[in-house]
């Protein structure tokens, strides 16, 4: 099969770029130093490739991701880096399962659901989940009193990872990790889990890094000058042209737009609507031409699609299911 044979919009992964990204990360953070976050690709097939590069523990965002990895034989060490209030499906998995907790309620849910190991989730600056650093020790004591093993702490500096100024990113990471380190001193355990693609080589406090986007990359992270290259694009077909602009079949329902508009080589993107992208190409295109649309955010883009088409040049090498979608 060739790219020209695909119905569009179609999600394309460049085989050589994917392999280069996986190799670069396994070289920088070998083995247990890296816990890939599968929310970025939602595919057991891509997780298998990360495991082949020595990264055999995984971070998940959903119960569905945990179940899928366990069923695929990738359950040696799975972390649900998210709070849940019903952990029964997790407790039933034939895998090593660790769950993030940040409150008495989530601790109780883990204990009742049959989960045996937890990390205390600490708010290090991102206004999302996580307890205050000074509360972490008390929560760890409560978890142990409910029979849970507390492996350590986690804290995501998500408010920092995209800062384009590296020196500022370094300062902000240091401030966030000072909070996580203080919590870790109170909690104990061997694990300090943190980080992302934008801070993988800056965060020296974490014992493991939870990066995910590095494998496929997107234009937002590419702007940071990291040693990973965009490997994911959406193949689209030009449907309409005039003297000023062109329109292709790749819109809001095929792209994650929360990090901004996508990019198209040799073109200026005007806007996206439900099923279309309107752009000013240079040079002029014709109806029926194929283009590559590069998303600004990999994770939600992937979740819109059922398959990756792994390609080398114009040849489609394989079609991989995005089998960890949903909850």
Q: What is the pLDDT of residues 109-162, one digit of tens each?
A: 999 999 999 999 999 999 999 999 999 999 999 999 999 999 999 999 999 999
Task: Tell me: do 207 and 297 sit in the same domain.
Answer: no
Nearest alpha carbon to residue 12 among 4, 24, 20? 4
Helices then strands, each counted (H, E), the chain? 9, 16
Task: Tell me: do 61 and 181 sit in the same domain.
Answer: yes
Q: How confident is the model at residue 42 (pLDDT cuts 50, 70, 90)?
A: very high
Asked whether residue 221 is assigned to any structural domain, the reply reads: no
Once rounded to an integer, what is the mean pLDDT over residues 54-79? 98
Task: Tell me: do 204 and 295 sit in the same domain.
Answer: no
Asked whether residue 90 is assigned to any structural domain, the reply reads: yes
CA dist., res. 166 & res. 163, Å (int): 7
The tens digit of pLDDT for each residue in 150-175 reads: 999 999 999 999 999 999 999 999 99
> Of the residues 216, 249, 276, which one is the last residue of a structural domain?
216
Length of the chain, in residues: 327
Task: Tell me: do 177 and 240 sit in the same domain.
Answer: no
| Alpha-carbon dihedral 40, 46, 47, 50, rounded to 10 degrees | -100
Task: Tell me: do 292 and 309 sit in the same domain.
Answer: yes
Once rounded to an integer, what is the mean pLDDT over residues 289-302? 98
77, 58 in Cβ contact below 8 A?
yes
Q: How confident is the model at residue 107 (pLDDT cuts 50, 70, 90)?
A: very high
Asked whether residue 327 is assigned to any structural domain, the reply reads: no
CA dist., res. 178 & res. 172, Å (int): 10
Task: Tell me: do 184 and 307 sit in the same domain.
Answer: no
Provide, rounded to the nearest whole percent, the portion of the chain with pLDDT above 90: 100
Q: Is the peptide bond before 255 cis (omega within 30 degrees of 0)?
A: no
CA dist., res. 95 & res. 259, Å (int): 34
> Of the residues 216, 248, 281, which one is the last residue of a structural domain?
216
The whole-number pLDDT of residue 79 equals: 98
136, 101 in Cβ contact below 8 A?
no
Asked whether residue 208 is assigned to any structural domain, the reply reads: yes
204: buried, middle or exposed (CB in 10 Å: 19+, 13-18, 0-12)?
exposed
The whole-number pLDDT of residue 92 equals: 97
Q: What is the CATH number of the domain that holds 305?
A: 2.40.37.20
Nearest alpha carbon to residue 32 among 59, 8, 3? 59
Task: Tell me: do 96 and 207 sit in the same domain.
Answer: yes
Q: How confident is the model at residue 235 (pLDDT cuts 50, 70, 90)?
A: very high
The tens digit of pLDDT for each residue in 165-204 reads: 999 999 999 999 999 999 999 999 999 999 999 999 999 9
The whole-number pLDDT of residue 240 equals: 98
Domain span at residue 270? 3-11+228-321
Task: Tell me: do 161 and 261 sit in the same domain.
Answer: no
CA dist., res. 178 & res. 186, Å (int): 13
Task: Tell me: do 180 and 258 sit in the same domain.
Answer: no
- Tracing tokens 């649900």 back to the chain, one arrives at 80
Element (H, E) at 281: strand 277-281
Q: What is the DSSP string of 92-143?
A: T-SS-EEEEE-SHHHHHHHHHTT--EEEEEB-SSSSSS-B-GGGHHHHHHHH
* Domains contained in the chain, number: 2
The whole-number pLDDT of residue 122 equals: 98
Task: Tell me: do 158 and 297 sit in the same domain.
Answer: no
Q: Which residues contact 190 (CB under 8 A, 6 or more apart)?
A: 151, 152, 207
Once rounded to an integer, what is the mean pLDDT over residues 240-245? 96
> Of the residues 194, 216, 238, which one is the last residue of a structural domain?
216
Asked whether residue 102 is assigned to any structural domain, the reply reads: yes
Task: Tell me: do 106 and 255 sit in the same domain.
Answer: no
CA angle at residue 23 from 201 to 203, to 5 degrees? 10
112: alpha, beta or left? (left if phi > 0; alpha if psi -120 to 50)? alpha
Task: Tell me: do 161 and 297 sit in the same domain.
Answer: no
Asked whether residue 317 is assigned to any structural domain, the reply reads: yes
Asked whether residue 196 is assigned to any structural domain, the reply reads: yes
Once rounded to an integer, what is the mean pLDDT over residues 12-21? 98
The model's pTM is 0.96
Q: What is the CATH number of the domain that holds 129?
A: 3.20.20.10
Nearest alpha carbon to residue 12 among 311, 322, 315? 311
Q: How confident is the model at residue 76 (pLDDT cuts 50, 70, 90)?
A: very high
SS3 16: helix
Asked whether residue 148 is assigned to any structural domain, the reply reads: yes
The whole-number pLDDT of residue 225 equals: 94
């Amino acid at each position: 099969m060739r790219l020209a044979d695909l119905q569009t919009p179609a999600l394309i992964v460049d085989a050589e770029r994917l392999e280069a990204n996986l190799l670069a990360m396994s070289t920088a953070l070998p083995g247990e130093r890296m816990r890939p976050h599968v929310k970025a690709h939602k595919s057991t097939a891509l997780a298998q490739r990360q495991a082949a590069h020595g990264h055999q523990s995984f971070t998940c965002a959903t119960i569905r991701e945990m179940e899928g990895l366990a069923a695929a034989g990738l359950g040696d060490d799975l972390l649900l880096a998210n709070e849940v209030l019903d952990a029964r499906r997790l407790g039933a998995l034939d895998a090593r399962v660790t769950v993030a907790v940040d409150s008495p309620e989530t601790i109780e849910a883990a204990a009742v659901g049959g989960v045996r190991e937890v990390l205390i989730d600490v708010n290090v600056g991102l206004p999302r989940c996580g307890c205050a650093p000074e509360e972490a020790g008390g929560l760890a004591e409560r978890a142990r009193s409910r029979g849970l093993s507390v492996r350590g702490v986690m804290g995501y500096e998500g408010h920092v990872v995209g800062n384009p100024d590296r020196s500022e990113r370094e300062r902000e990471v240091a401030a966030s990790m000072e909070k996580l380190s203080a919590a870790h001193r109170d909690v104990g355990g061997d694990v300090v889990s943190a980080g992302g693609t934008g801070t993988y080589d800056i965060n020296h406090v974490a014992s493991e890094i939870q990066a995910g986007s590095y494998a496929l990359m997107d234009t937002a992270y590419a702007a940071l000058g990291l040693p990973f290259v965009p490997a994911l694009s959406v193949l689209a077909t030009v449907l309409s042209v005039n003297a000023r602009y062109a329109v292709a079949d790749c819109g809001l329902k095929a792209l994650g737009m929360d990090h901004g508009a996508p990019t198209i080589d040799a073109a200026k993107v005007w806007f996206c609507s439900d099923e279309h992208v309107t752009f000013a190409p240079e040079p002029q295109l014709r109806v029926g031409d194929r283009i590559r649309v590069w998303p600004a955010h990999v994770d939600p883009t992937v979740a819109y699609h059922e398959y990756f088409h792994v390609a080398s040049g114009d040849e489609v090498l394989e079609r991989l299911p995005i089998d960890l979608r949903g909850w």
